[in-house]
Chains A and B, each alone.
Chain A
């Protein structure tokens, strides 16, 4: 019962008053991020990294890292709750994983059942959050024990697999996704090489010696990219908002959604664990499944509560599942977890199998705080749903310039030079151009984080084998990872050739 002791210690960390506060702030901001169209979980987390770094600056490193990660993770899963609000009330998904919620959620709102839809979404998200946490607790230790056996060759192949999986599923064109991945890896090579101390691609510019700051690129590509897009393309029109009458769902509603919630949670969790798949795919699959299992599939799209309960549970469970590869293997499987990983690294904490031994306070504190955070979200979202519906109406004319100002402040506070601010603006513009033309930016950020680790493991493996490249295919585990990685790229191509439709995600 080692796990229970660890978990109790985790709760001791999570129940420290400042960590409760951090979890609360995290989930409130997360819900707001989910509600506001234009800022997704990725930009939300990226924007808050510098803010949390400042808030925790007085604490000892270990405690500061735990508190920041608690807040940032709160933003991540909080956004999954918030995303449903706009889907249901104004038929506009707040983030990409709530797209399918619009189908039945908005219909329910039209029939005057907005309150029931919102509360079922919150209840489903809560159940899913708890189920995925239990999964996380049960899988964390065994998985990290397996990962401890990995040598550099296995690690290299596993990261390759992660990158291939994300590129294989991101965006419409795999070529473009792969290009973005390679560009991310290239950007990661800029700076002084950690092994040999040789400066690469720096052209004697001192500002480049440390490499490009991951935070600047992520905030620029995601947050500023989205802001620029809205400034350029959106005309300011306000949509009518559905009225919320009764908040609590009826007994019949609860009965109808119990099974979809359970099914959605389990499915979402396992999809979330897979690299590359993520909350959007999970919610999409859940919707299809519910429609298939339903007694009257025709009622879907006309306000069937199962069409809200299933997908909303699935996207939340997926965000919990996505934490598993990050915490146990040290390899993020999506854009948002890549950014969380960047936060870990900023505090000199290496996520991965050793996390649970080296920094049990951070790992278990985070897991325990997710229980508390999910409880907060349930409490917040039921009575306060009307308040968050007001957030939807924040005029973009004030919101957009303030997001620009916050990202400038955030980057400057961490980097303290104007070069990063120019880089930030350039990345914002590129981020807009890239996503406009279907070049997914999530693989770039993921590759930028993984790049240096990948190169080091590759060189370590090759040093062990005296430069023999066969080491990557003679080690059995490494071979398995490489085969899966290649399959991930080839299978969609083959499916396309024989004329099957391939599901892609635009969330990353």
Chain B
């Protein structure tokens, strides 16, 4: 665990709690004269979160820094998959479920391990058409279709 991350999240949570308190005060009070309206519960939560994040900040400053282990991360692999996942969501309703899923899987399989293109294509196609056929044809659900034609 890293202290920098804890400091950072402590500050973020503190800001969120202040924002939450501020915003819940704006919610109008009780609708029918009862003592507690829709703003009470969020207000309490905001105050509790504020106190807890102060406590977290106090803990991070008090505790001695632990030795940080060097880890190797696969940033490139993760980055490509994450970006293609975002692109997948973006394209889903434009080019349809089958095409977008197929493309995403092919990219992701190849990023995980290069080569064996034939296997990649077969498994990606199998999954994509399998889900589409099962869900749309057999179960009668609906998924976005290719809509350019």
Interface residues of A, Cβ cutoff 8 Å to B: 54-55, 57-58, 172-173, 175-176, 178-179, 182-183, 185-186, 189, 193, 195-198, 200-201, 228, 231-233, 235-236, 395-398, 400-402, 404-405, 408-409, 412-413, 418, 421-422, 425, 429, 433, 437-439, 455, 458-459, 462-463, 466-467
Contact = CB atoms under 8 A, between A and B. Distances in A.
B89 A421 contact: yes
A398 B113 CA distance: 9
A467 B24 CA distance: 19
Interface in B20-36: 20, 23-24, 27-28, 30-32, 34-36
B135 to A, nearest CB: 6
A210 to B, nearest CB: 16
Interface string B135-146: 100011101000
Given A182-B49, A418-B89, 19 more contacts: A54-B135, A172-B1, A182-B48, A186-B16, A198-B27, A198-B28, A198-B31, A231-B74, A236-B112, A397-B113, A398-B109, A401-B105, A405-B127, A408-B88, A413-B135, A422-B89, A425-B85, A433-B5, A437-B5
B75 interface: yes
A232 B75 contact: yes
B23 A201 contact: yes
B85 A462 contact: no
Interface in B38-60: 38, 40-42, 45-46, 48-49, 52-53, 55-56, 59
A439 to B, nearest CB: 7
Contacts, number: 157
A189 B23 CA distance: 12
Nearest to A418: B89
B114 to A, nearest CB: 10
25 contacts: A54-B139, A55-B139, A57-B140, A175-B52, A175-B56, A179-B53, A182-B52, A183-B13, A185-B45, A186-B16, A189-B45, A198-B31, A231-B74, A231-B112, A232-B75, A233-B71, A397-B109, A400-B112, A404-B85, A405-B105, A408-B85, A418-B89, A458-B40, A462-B34, A467-B34
A186 B16 CA distance: 10
A231 B23 contact: no
Interface of B: 1-2, 5-6, 9, 13, 16, 20, 23-24, 27-28, 30-32, 34-38, 40-42, 45-46, 48-49, 52-53, 55-56, 59, 71-75, 77-78, 81-82, 85-86, 88-90, 92-93, 101, 104-105, 108-109, 112-113, 123, 127, 131, 135, 139-141, 143
A18 B143 CA distance: 26
A459 B34 contact: yes
A410 B143 CA distance: 11
A189 B49 CA distance: 14
A412 B141 contact: no
Most A CB atoms within 10 A — which of B74, B92, B112, B141?
A: B112
A321 to B, nearest CB: 30
A152 to B, nearest CB: 12
A176 B56 contact: yes
B36 A463 contact: yes
The 5 A-B residue pairs with the shortest CB-CB distance in the complex, in nearest-first order: A467-B35, A401-B108, A397-B112, A196-B31, A193-B38
B92 A175 contact: no
Contacts of A418: 89-90, 92-93
A231 B16 CA distance: 30
B124 to A, nearest CB: 8
